[in-house]
Amino acid sequence: MASDPERFKQWFSPADLDANRAGHLAPDQARRLGLQAAVGRGANLLVGLGLIIVAIVIAALALAGNTTVAPSGAGPTLIGAVVVALIGLVFFWVGRRGSFSHEVAAGTVDHATGPAVLSLTEHSGEGNSTYVTHELAIGQMGRRFQIDGHLYRAITQGEALTAYYLAGAGRLVNLESAAASQAAGVSDPIAAAAAAAAAEVVAGPADGTPLQQAIIGRWRGADMGSGLSATIEFRADGTLTMGADLSSLGALDALPGPLRALAQRADQPRTMRYHWTDADHIAVDGQPGTAQVRLAGGHLIVDLPDGEQRLTRLADTAAANEEAHP
């Protein structure tokens, strides 16, 4: 196996790595990608314009009563012409929008580090023919890139890689081993997010602190399944806010675009009211039953019917809590 940065030089230029590590396209790389974007943009414009013209001609002939073009009458033919025109408009809009061109012009390069996850997908072609597409993902929930078969075979399943890409287009622009990127001082965005989350945690209240005082503040719940946690903030006015804690999944930029959008929508907190039913039980409006609350080892433990939930205090409310309860 060739050593980095020569290993992937058949597909990516090692000369571009320094710029990509710094978060932008190299000048030669920007020119190459800009040419590809211009060709793709022009092709979309031409296809779109061609389909629109064809649709107009077919519609005009159908309205003129041409039986060759409209053997079943003008109505069905006009509907078909409208469909063709709409498809043409989509191609024309994509060409006019030129999102890939704009992203190349901006020149911003993101990166993701993690184990390589390789996958093959077989597709049906014309007749009985089939063809295969090859994909590389960085981590199980990471960004996915379509790659050619030769690059696919040059990568080992599970090896640690750093991928450099244009986020909006999902376009892979460079690739190297994680060891090489770390040696060059490139940070791991998922590890950075995990470190930031760990730094956010502060010491919880001491055992013996009155519960109604200790509970006030913002807390992170332990793993709630699929690696996802939650943040819960109890306020002195009897309301609590609960939402998904996406930092437990790592950096959002490491997720594919559709999954990232879903995750961001899931991260909208809900506000509810709670009240104490006795000295150590709370009830939340709209939720069945009550939950016992206790302190243990500086953590807030909430005993639920399906098991206990251990909560850890977060830093951004510690100062406010100390001011409220000196």
Q: Do both 225 and 308 map to the same domain?
A: yes
Q: Do both 249 and 129 map to the same domain?
A: no
CA distances from 121 to 118, 136, 197, 283 (A): 10, 11, 36, 50
Q: Taking residues 173-190, what's their average pLDDT?
A: 86
Predicted pLDDT of residue 227: 43
Given a cut of 50, is residue 108 above it in pLDDT?
Answer: yes
Residue 82 in any domain: the answer is: yes
- Spell out the residues 6+ positions from residue 14 whose beta carbon is closer than 8 angstroms to its own: 5, 6
Domain of 309?
A: 198-324
Q: How confident is the model at residue 12 (pLDDT cuts 50, 70, 90)?
A: very high
Residue 292 in any domain: the answer is: yes
Q: CA-CA distance, 279 to 293, in Å (whole number)?
A: 9
Given a cut of 70, is residue 202 above it in pLDDT?
Answer: yes
Q: Do both 74 and 162 map to the same domain?
A: no
- Spell out the residues 6+ positions from residue 234 whose beta carbon is closer than 8 angstroms to its own: 215, 216, 217, 219, 240, 274
CATH code, 163: 2.40.50.660
Q: Do both 148 and 19 map to the same domain?
A: yes
Q: Do both 176 and 145 map to the same domain?
A: yes
Residue 237 in any domain: the answer is: yes
Residue 85 in any domain: the answer is: yes
Q: Taking residues 195-215, what's their average pLDDT?
A: 77
Q: What is the pLDDT of residues 279-318, one digit of tens each?
A: 889 998 888 888 888 888 888 888 877 677 888 888 754 4
Predicted pLDDT of residue 162: 93
Q: Do both 137 and 221 map to the same domain?
A: no
Q: How confident is the model at residue 325 (pLDDT cuts 50, 70, 90)?
A: very low
Residue 57 in any domain: the answer is: yes
Given a cut of 60, is residue 196 above it in pLDDT?
Answer: yes
Provide the number of structural domains found in the chain.
Answer: 3
Q: What is the pLDDT of residues 247-279, one digit of tens each?
A: 544 444 444 455 555 555 555 678 999 999 998
Q: CA-CA distance, 159 to 68, in Å (whole number)?
A: 61
Residue 290 in any domain: the answer is: yes
Q: CA-CA distance, 49 to 57, in Å (whole number)?
A: 12
The model's pTM is 0.51
Q: What is the pLDDT of residues 113-145, one digit of tens each?
A: 989 999 988 878 777 788 889 999 987 667 789
Q: Do both 227 and 280 map to the same domain?
A: yes
Helix (H, G, I), strand (E, B) or coil at 271: strand
CA distances from 276 to 233, 237, 272, 284, 291 (A): 16, 12, 14, 9, 10
Q: What is the pLDDT of residues 277-290, one digit of tens each?
A: 998 899 988 888 88
Q: Do both 316 and 238 map to the same domain?
A: yes
Predicted pLDDT of residue 254: 47
CATH code, 221: 2.40.128.50
Q: Which of 160, 187, 214 is a domain's end point? A: 187
Side-chain-side CA neighbours of residue 293 (13 Å): 25
Q: Where are the alpha helices (DSSP H) in 22-73?
A: 27-63
Q: Do both 236 and 307 map to the same domain?
A: yes
Q: Do both 215 and 304 map to the same domain?
A: yes
Q: Do both 165 and 242 map to the same domain?
A: no
Given a cut of 90, is residue 83 above it in pLDDT?
Answer: no
Residue 102 in any domain: the answer is: yes
Q: Do both 277 and 210 map to the same domain?
A: yes
